Homo-oligomer: A and B are copies of this chain.
Amino acid sequence: MIKTSRNRHQVVIVGAGFGGLEAATHLEGVDVDVTIIDRRNYHLFQPLLYQVAGASLSPSEIAWPIRYLFRDRPEVRTLMAEVEGVDKAARQVILQDGTRYPYDTLVLATGATHAYFGHDEWSKYAPGLKSLEDATTIRGRILSAFEQAELCNDPEVREALQTFVIIGGGPTGVELAGTIAELARGTLQDDFRSVDPSKTRVFLIEAGPRLLPVFPEKLSEYTRRALEKLGVSVLLGAPVTECASDGVMLNGKKLAASTIVWAAGVQASPAARWLDTESDRAGRAIVGPDLTVPGSPNIFVIGDTASSATADGKTVPGIAPAAKQQGKYVAGQIEGLITGARRTAAFKYRHQGNLATIGRSLAVIDMGKLKLSGGIAWWIWKLAHIYFLIGVRNRLSVAMSWVWNHSVGYRGARIILREKASNATSGSLDGKLK
């Protein structure tokens, strides 16, 4: 067991995403020791992950070493380790190597991963976009498809190589489809001799009746038309029934495509299982009004791995602002506990709005009464994202990357790094290139 100072109340936060980071930040000045445990050494700004996949930003522009963010707070300890369980009786977190780490208050903010609705075998053909490795894998596959097309003499194979399928019409799918279409028609337009990048086909496939289902219908329709202007084929009400190395099955027909990206579903991390507590269909731990799990007033679950209700009985959405509000609320609850002024008010979610961007010059914003689409929405989106990035260095760097991308279409991170084992796509098509 790892030793800790037992003089002070020990808060352990598992996961340094938006929720966990916000909790740690708002515990500043509270008389507790804080330990942040994450399996990565960095906090990831997930809303811009699709720009890494699209070769516009490099991984380190949207990632910050967690321990660096807390370097000036000696009471905060950061550990890079994989958590595998919780011993509620002993009040210990269990790490992958069996080490146990004690807590007085536990905050689980472990996020979510992709869900393939019972078809995990699709993951190697249709990677999802949750981690930096996912993003560089998808970037590599997109860029490699064009490289292979340039080598290819068979028009049918070349067409498949220039066909990109994105499954799932939420914000990630919309953003990926827009960025791939612009990559092909803008960034790459002069770079090939045999391939005509304008013949690239990008399919955005959604099982439901419209894109961006959490937005008002009018903005969904705006988004569809805007994407089609960028050259994206939007297929609605079209559930994918199979993913394979050479394409997807759709309405009983094969759509040949060498690159498939999964943006259709998420599955909560196993926090509910660790706690042996009730979860919803997506695996999220069901928490009470104070974000603790039933029977464990010292265990909070927040962010994408929690299912918590809003005042009007809806579920708090799995978006960054919600996780941050919950992190701040939990810090307040802990402060109340320590100072003896324990606040019993329930967590109240304030919905600030939804944003999604369409290519490099349009966006849609739904902030309740204020609904925006087009260029102004895009400017708000950009400024908001620059604002929420951490540190002057990264703000400057991302701003500079965007200026280059928007002015001359240049994307600064068009490099193909070697993938691990599972590049099924290029493997299966290689044979056809001769």
Contact = CB atoms under 8 A, between A and B. Distances in A.
Interface string A40-76: 1110000000000000001111010101100110100
B153 A190 contact: no
Contacts of A404: 393
Contacts of A61: 58
A45 to B, nearest CB: 12
A430 interface: yes
A387 interface: no
Contact of A80 (B77, B147, B431): B147
Given A397-B400, A397-B412, A417 B59 contact: yes
A243 interface: no
Contacts of A165: none
Contacts of A77: 150, 193-194
A68 B412 CA distance: 11
- Number of copies of this protein chain within its complex: 2
Q: Top 7 A-B pairs ranked by shortest CB distance?
A: A60-B413, A80-B147, A71-B190, A67-B191, A58-B60, A65-B414, A77-B193
- Indicate the size class of the contact surface on chain A: 35 or more
A40 B416 contact: yes
Contact of A415 (B41, B74, B190, B415): B41
A6 interface: no
A3 B404 CA distance: 36
Interface of A: 2-3, 40-42, 58-61, 63, 65, 67-68, 71-72, 74, 77-81, 97-99, 132-133, 136, 143-144, 147-148, 150-151, 153, 190-194, 393-394, 396-397, 400, 404, 410, 412-418, 420-421, 430-431, 433-434
B393 A191 contact: no
B400 A71 contact: no
Contact of A99 (B59, B79, B151, B193): B151
A188 to B, nearest CB: 8
5 contacts: A58-B60, A80-B151, A97-B431, A99-B151, A394-B412
B415 A42 contact: yes
Nearest to A74: B193
A147 B41 CA distance: 8
Given A72-B190, A191-B65, A193-B74, A417 B132 contact: yes
Contacts of A80: 144, 147-148, 150-151, 416
Nearest to A193: B77
B40 A153 contact: no
A417 B133 contact: yes
Given A58-B59, A58-B61, 6 more contacts: A42-B415, A67-B191, A71-B191, A74-B193, A80-B150, A393-B404
B190 A42 contact: no
Contact of A151 (B2, B67, B430, B431): B2
A193 B76 CA distance: 8
B393 A41 contact: no
A150 B67 CA distance: 11
B191 A68 contact: yes
A79 B396 contact: no
A420 B417 contact: no
A14 to B, nearest CB: 14
A428 to B, nearest CB: 13
Residue of A42, A67, A132, A404 with highest tally of chain B CB at under 10 A: A67
Contacts of A393: 400, 404, 410, 412
